[in-house]
Amino acid sequence: MNPKAILSAVTLAAIVAVCPGFAWSQEFKPSKQIEAVVHTGPGGGSDLLARAIAEMLLKEKLIQQRMQVVNKPGGGPAVAMSYLAEKKGETHTIGFFTGVWVTNPLTTAEANVTVKDLTPIVRLVLEPAVIAVKADSPYKTVKDFVEAAKKSPNQLRQSGGSVTSRDNLMRLLIQKATGAQWTFISFPSGGERLSNLLGGHVQMMVIEPQEAGEQIRAGNLRVIASLTEKRLAALPNVPTIKEQGIDIPLIPQARGVLAPPAVPRDVVQYWEGVFDRFAKSSSWHQYLEQNQFEDGYLKGPPLGKFFDELTVQMREVLKEAGAKVVR
Partner 1 sequence: MDALGNLLLGFSVALTPINLFWCFTGVVLGTVVGVLPGLGPAATIAMLLPLTLKMDHTTAIIALAGIFYGARYGGSTTSILLNIPGESSSVVTCLDGYQMARNGRAGPALGISAIASFVAGTVGVLGLMLIAPPLARFALRFAPPEYFALMVLGLAMVVFLAGESMVKAMLAMFVGLWLATIGTDLFTGESRFTFGQAKLLGGVDFIAATVGVFAIAEVLVNLESKGGAELFKLAKGWKNLLPTLQDIKDCRFAFLNGSVIGFFIGALPGAGATVASFLSYGLEKAVSKHPEKFGTGVIEGVAAPEGANNADASGALVPLLTLGIPGGNTTAILLGGLILWGYKPGPLLIQEHPELFWGLVASMYIGNVMLLILNLPLVPLFAQILRLPYYVLYPLILGISIVGVYSVNNSLFDVWVMGLFGLLGFLMRKLDFPAAALILGMVLGDGLERALRQSLMMSQGDLTILFARPISGTLLFVAAAILVLPAVRKVRSWRVAAIEREG
Instruction: Give the binding site for partner 1 (CB under 8 A).
Output: 41-44, 47-48, 51-52, 54-55, 58, 69-76, 78-79, 82, 104, 107-112, 154-155, 157, 162-164, 183-192, 194-196, 198-199, 201, 210, 213-215, 217-218, 220, 290-291, 323-324
Minimum distance of partner 1 from residue 72's CB (angstroms): 7
Q: Which is nearer to partner 1, 25 or 195 (CB)?
A: 195
Longest dimension (CA), the chain: 97
Q: Given the DSSP bridges, would you call strands 130-134 and 204-207 parallel, antiparallel or unpaired?
A: antiparallel
DSSP character string of 301-313: HHHHHHHHHHHHH
Q: Which is nearer to partner 1, 35 or 272 (CB)?
A: 35
Nearest residue to 142 (alpha-carbon basis) of 114, 174, 118: 174
Cβ(44)–Cβ(100) below 8 Å? no
Cβ(77)–Cβ(254) below 8 Å? no
Q: Which is nearer to partner 1, 106 or 298 (CB)?
A: 106
Minimum distance of partner 1 from residue 217's CB (angstroms): 6
Cβ(166)–Cβ(253) below 8 Å? yes
Minimum distance of partner 1 from residue 298's CB (angstroms): 25
Q: What is the C-alpha separation between 188 and 122, in angstroms, rounded?
A: 28
Q: Which is nearer to partner 1, 11 or 155 (CB)?
A: 155
Q: Which is nearer to partner 1, 11 or 189 (CB)?
A: 189
Degrees, nearest 5: CA angle 82-76-142:
145
Minimum distance of partner 1 from residue 23's CB (angstroms): 32
Q: Is 68 helix (H, G, I), strand (E, B) or coil?
A: strand
Cβ(76)–Cβ(100) below 8 Å? yes
Minimum distance of partner 1 from residue 299's CB (angstroms): 25
Q: Which is nearer to partner 1, 51 or 222 (CB)?
A: 51
Minimum distance of partner 1 from residue 230's CB (angstroms): 24
